[in-house]
Amino acid sequence: MKYVLVTGGVVSGLGKGVTASSVGLILKSCGLRVTSIKIDPYLNSDAGTMSPFEHGEVYVLDDGGEVDLDLGNYERFLDIKLTRDNNITTGKIYQSVIEKERRGDYLGKTVQVVPHITDAIQEWIERVALIPVDGREGPADVCVIELGGTIGDIESMPFIEAFGQFSCRVGSGNLCLIHVSLVPVLNAVGEQKTKPTQHSVRGLRSLGLTPDILACRSTMALDESIKVKLSQFCHVPPYHCSGENIITLYDVPNIWHIPLLLRDQKAHKAILKALNLSSVEWKEPKLEKWSVRTELSDKLDEPVRVAMVGKYTGLSDSYLSVIKALFHASVTLHRKLVVDWVPASDLEDATKEENPESHRAAWNLLRSSDAVLVPGGFGDRGVEGKILAAKYARENRVPYLGICLGMQTAVIEYARSVLSIRDANSTEFDPNTRNPFVIFMPEGSKTHMGGTMRLGTRRTFFQVKDCKSVKLYGNASFVDERHRHRYEVNPDVIARLENAGLIFTGKDETGRRMEIVELPKHPFFMGVQFHPEFKSRPAKPSPPFLGLIAAAIGQLDDLLRPSASTKSRKRPRAYRIPRLKPYHHGMVDHANGSLSDPCTDLGGSPNSISIEHANGISSNGNGFHH
Burial degree of 317 (CB within 10 A; 0-12, 13-18, 19+): middle
Closest CA to 134 of 86, 75, 85: 75
Q: Choosing from 146, 481, 533, 612, which is the catalytic residue? A: 533
Under 8 Å CB-to-CB from 505, ≥6 apart: which residues? 462, 463, 464, 467, 469, 470, 516, 517, 518
How many other C-beta atoms can be found within 10 angstroms of the C-beta atom of residue 209? 21
455 strand-pairing partners: 484
Q: Choosing from 116, 334, 483, 531, which is the catalytic residue? A: 531
Angle between helices 118-129 and 157-170 (to 10 degrees): 60
Q: Are strands 400-403 and 371-374 parallel, antiparallel or unpaired?
A: parallel
Q: Choosing from 334, 404, 483, 515, which is the catalytic residue? A: 404
Whether a cis peptide bond, with omega within 30° of 0, leads into 115 is yes
Give SS3 for 135: coil
* Cα distance between residue 555 and residue 573, in whole Å: 18
DSSP secondary structure letter of residue 456: E
How many other C-beta atoms can be found within 10 angstroms of the C-beta atom of residue 570? 6
User: What's the sign of the alpha-carbon dihedral 133, 137, 138, 140?
Assistant: negative
Q: How many residues does the chain have?
A: 626
DSSP strands (E only) in 503-623 = 503-507, 514-518, 525-528, 579-580, 590-591, 610-613, 616-619
In 171-223, where does DSSP find H-type helix?
195-206
* Cα distance between residue 537 and residue 191, in whole Å: 39
How many other C-beta atoms can be found within 10 angstroms of the C-beta atom of residue 301? 8
Look up residue 401 and give its amino acid.
Answer: L
| Residue 234 designated active-site | no
| Residue 404 designated active-site | yes
* Cα distance between residue 606 and residue 263, in whole Å: 19
User: What's the sign of the alpha-carbon dihedral 367, 369, 613, 411?
Assistant: positive
* Cα distance between residue 208 and residue 357, in whole Å: 57
Give SS3 for 520: coil
Answer yes or no: are the C-beta atoms of 216 and 182 closer than 8 Å: yes
- H/E segment holding residue 321: helix 320-332
Under 8 Å CB-to-CB from 585, ≥6 apart: which residues? 480
The pair phi, psi for residue 293, each rounded to 5°, is -65, -40
Please give the positions annotated as active site.
404, 531, 533
